[in-house]
Chains A and B, each alone.
Chain A
Amino acid sequence: MKLDYIFKGARIMQQRKRTASKRLTNSNLTYHLMILPGIVFLLIFNYAPMFGLVMAFQDYVPAKGIFNSDFVGFQHFAYMFSLPSIERVFTNTIVIAGGKIIFNTLLAIVFAILLNEIRVRWLKKSVQTIVYLPNFLSWVVLASVVVNMFNLDGSVNHILDNFGVGPFNFLGSNQLFRPLIIGTDVWKSFGFNSIVYLAAITSIDPGLHEAASIDGANWWRRVWHVTLPGMLPIILLLAILNLPNILNGGFDQIYNLYSPVVYQSGDIIDTYVYRVGLMGRDYSFGTAVGLFKSIIGLVLILSANQTAKKFTERQLF
């Protein structure tokens, strides 16, 4: 095929273009070679495991392996929908993930707008450095921090006690666990999320602000009529691209913070799959639940990408 191409090229193109074309073909080969190692890794560690998804349609018996286990069709999916706990798991996931997306976006935007007003350089820099930091720490580490703060006898309850409220058992209450998970996640990442918004604000034409000022608009009005509209495309874009995360409640965080007391409100798809599919050794069922989640996620992300393309003329890939 490559030869064909050169041949065709040679026939049609002039001498100069022919050299260029040859170079292009050489480049093509180099490109293939460059990308090859990465693709090999993808095939082995991402694609090979995907064949394992057939487990979801089998009664997987380890001794027989994937090749010889009996197929049972959609039995595991039917069982999944018959379980009362599955509805709870999906609800928890969507509420927690949705809460995280909404509050993370809101706080990041507000923070970016406010930070942009800070004129004291050292203060701005230090605050930035501090609020970006938690995003880089592991949930293993931050879970300890959270437990220390939100224990029945932790600092937060000490502070609340001074106001005569509480104590609240944040980690052991089905009313408070979700807010805790959402709140601590926002605490971890709002700073980092604000980076993009901050950039969007600085790219707004300063002339617009000046014009608004001259028209007598106060700060509040300028934010409302200049800054926010200027940020809108990026806000919209990120919101759309975040949509598929609605099924990702955050395994690391919840795994390190939950206990049976709060399964009711805090058990998400990923933790459920881990407990049932691995610890409960119900491999096929666990794979089926995971597959169901992946498929919904796939549909969501593809439509999000299309939506983003349509409304903002940008996309992730």
Chain B
Amino acid sequence: MNTKKSLIYFVLLISLFSLLGCVGESEPEHNEDGQLIVKLGKQTATNPKLPEGDTFEDNAYTRLAEEVLDIELVNDFEANGEDYDRQVALAISSGELPDMMQVSQEEFEELYENDLIADLTDVFEEHASDYIQGLYDSYDINPLEDTTFEGRIYGLPAAVNVTPPHMIWIRQDWIDQLQLDFDADGDKLITIEELESLAQTFIEEDPGHTGNPVGIPLAHWLNEPGYGGAFTMTTIGSIFGSYPRNWIERPDGNITNGSLMPETKEALAQVKDWFDRGILDPQFGTRSWDDIMALAVNGQTGIVTGAWHMPDWGLSNVKEMHPDVVFEAYTLVDDQHKVNIASQNPSGSIAVARKDFSDPDILIKMINLFYDTLKNEPNLEEVYPDIYQYQVLDVDGAVRPLNMEILGSTSELEHYAEIRDALNGEIEVSDIPDARNQSIALSIMEYNDNPEGASTAAWALYHSRMKGLKLGQSLIDHNHFEWVHPVFFGTTPAIEQYYGNLLSMEEEEFIKIVTGVESIDHFDTFVEMWHRQGGDEILAEIEAEIAE
């Protein structure tokens, strides 16, 4: 009787324990029509501008993919921002991933180490179109190198050479309304003093009539590598020659992280000075990304930093609330009228397939469909009328199964040149090869004909191209860029182990410095802490890798 009893307890114990285990290999599932069901981890976006009835799971793009690839797409999870990261973390913790999803570089490496994602080398070589392969090849350093381990490709990275510089988007309607003599020569290059006095004027005059104006808001993480970050201080750092979060070779040949450079200390001192004088948002640090967006939308601030494409997804909200709003893109320059800039790793988030996914070729075919076929279809309106309709409505590309872009290294400025030429009448709109750019050109014409009555979509496209990209092109034309090339983009074991922690420490210490919890000299302590908490090991490993 006792053995029987123990047996019962034992079985109970094991069955409880098994509740924690993996469910095991999952068989490919098919729907009633015999189509393979493909599960996605879907990164969404706010304000997708989807027509009524359509969702992130069921829209013109997903329907097209389902039809062309003969599959059914189901979203295992859908979220954006921190919610998406959490869902990815939870999925990884269980060891059961959706068939396909997008992950960050950090998550990607972890997935590879944990042997959870599929080797895509063969399907990529067999199925990826020449055009797609060409896009990747157009970069000096192929973005695929970031996702290749020992010669095998484990993920397909987004590839975009975001057009520099990091910009400052300013409410031009306020400048006009206050009749300010700002950027008198009209070259959109401003000095830090000009920016400072403009922010001060905005605070004093409160042109948004909110009773509660804010000068310059910045996000609490302050820096991102590259120059695409919204609400970061990249453009401010650039005039000091500070390139935080990049691996930089110093003149003496030593490698360091841009965050540790004395130039970064100077840039921080500048931001701290603004905080002390109330030019920086006095609630800096406590505001979330959404809070800062809300400051712009409410008309509390008229100065935000970000990339050229900001009007398309962020500033368009401001336009919705204030129909007469006009933004202008500026950038900061140093005494020599130069913009110091560290070149950016073109790869972004990475599309991966689950290790045991039966048909990983679907991922490649999907990429062909969205980043080759649709892009290069000269007659989109007739061949894919639903997609054409979406582009007219300016539905956010985030509703596609993969929320990423794969472009060639110079695509953005080439597209800009085509659109500009069409607007100037040098070429016909129908001569523009890319259907999406044709519809962008038409929208901008609509805006030019009637700026006051134009739709938000036309307003956004006009601002991002004819102000944002135009500024980038003009800086190239007039030779204002001073490039610095980070020596290392990849990863090492020590980076995996320590860098995450170092980044959160950097964020916290920089916040302390800016808000005056610590003096500016605390920066030197931060540098010491950085070296001690694994930084030295990282630098040694990077030097070893470069030496190879």
Contact = CB atoms under 8 A, between A and B. Distances in A.
B19 interface: yes
A259 B16 contact: no
A52 interface: yes
Given A43-B16, A153-B212, A172-B515, A281 B285 contact: no
A263 B286 CA distance: 11
A279 B285 contact: no
Contacts of A114: none
B85 A52 contact: no
B114 interface: yes
Given A61-B114, A278-B90, A264 B285 contact: no
Contacts of A67: 21
Interface string B507-526: 11001100101000000000
A259 B288 CA distance: 8
Interface stretch (B91-99, B133-141, B311-319): B91-99
A44 interface: yes
Given A152-B283, A259-B285, A259-B286, A48 B21 contact: no
A264 B16 CA distance: 40
A48 B17 CA distance: 6
A65 B24 CA distance: 10
Contacts of B517: 174, 264
A279 B508 contact: no
B282 interface: yes
Given A153-B212, A264-B508, A281-B89, A63 B20 contact: no
Q: Is the interface of A mostly helix, strand, loop or mixed?
A: helix
A261 interface: yes
A259 B89 contact: no
A260 B285 contact: yes
Contacts of B90: 278
Contact of A171 (B17, B94, B212, B286): B286
Given A259-B220, A260-B507, A51 B17 contact: yes
A174 B114 CA distance: 39
Contacts of B107: 281
Interface in B270-306: 282-288
Contact of A48 (B19, B212, B282, B285): B19
Given A51-B20, A152-B283, A171-B286, A279 B116 contact: no
A51 B16 contact: yes
A49 B116 CA distance: 23
B293 to A, nearest CB: 16
A260 B515 CA distance: 12
B114 A63 contact: yes
A280 interface: yes
A216 interface: no
A51 B16 CA distance: 8
A52 B19 CA distance: 10
Nearest to B511: A261
A278 B511 contact: no
Contacts of A262: 286
Contacts of A52: 20
Nearest to A171: B286
A44 to B, nearest CB: 7
A261 B286 contact: yes
Interface in B210-257: 212, 220-221
Contact of A49 (B20, B82, B507, B515): B20
Tell me which of A64, A169, A172, A261 has the highest count of chain B C-beta atoms within 10 A of its own C-beta.
Answer: A261
B116 A172 contact: no
Contacts of B86: 278-279
A139 interface: no
Interface string A162-196: 00000101011010000000000000000000000
B416 to A, nearest CB: 37
Contacts of B544: none
Contacts of A171: 283, 286
Contacts of A38: none
B212 A172 contact: no
Nearest to B288: A259
Given A152-B282, A260-B511, A278 B20 contact: no
A66 interface: yes
Interface in B1-56: 12, 16-17, 19-22
Nearest to A258: B286
Given A62-B92, A261-B285, A48 B20 contact: yes
Contact of B220 (A153, A260, A283): A260
B496 to A, nearest CB: 11
A306 interface: no
Given A63-B116, A260-B511, A261-B286, A279 B85 contact: yes
Interface string B105-128: 001001000111000000000000
B500 interface: yes
A151 interface: yes
Contacts of B500: 280
Interface in A49-92: 49, 51-52, 61-67
A224 interface: no
A292 interface: no
Interface string A11-51: 00000000000000000000000000000000110011101
Contacts of A48: 16-17, 19-20
A66 B114 contact: no
A65 B21 CA distance: 6
20 contacts: A48-B16, A48-B17, A48-B19, A48-B20, A49-B20, A51-B20, A62-B116, A63-B355, A64-B95, A65-B22, A152-B283, A169-B282, A171-B283, A172-B283, A259-B288, A260-B507, A261-B286, A261-B511, A278-B86, A279-B82
Interface of B: 12, 16-17, 19-22, 82, 85-86, 89-90, 92-95, 107, 110, 114-116, 212, 220-221, 282-288, 355, 500, 504, 507-508, 511-512, 515, 517
Given A261-B284, A264-B508, 5 more contacts: A48-B17, A48-B20, A153-B212, A261-B220, A283-B93
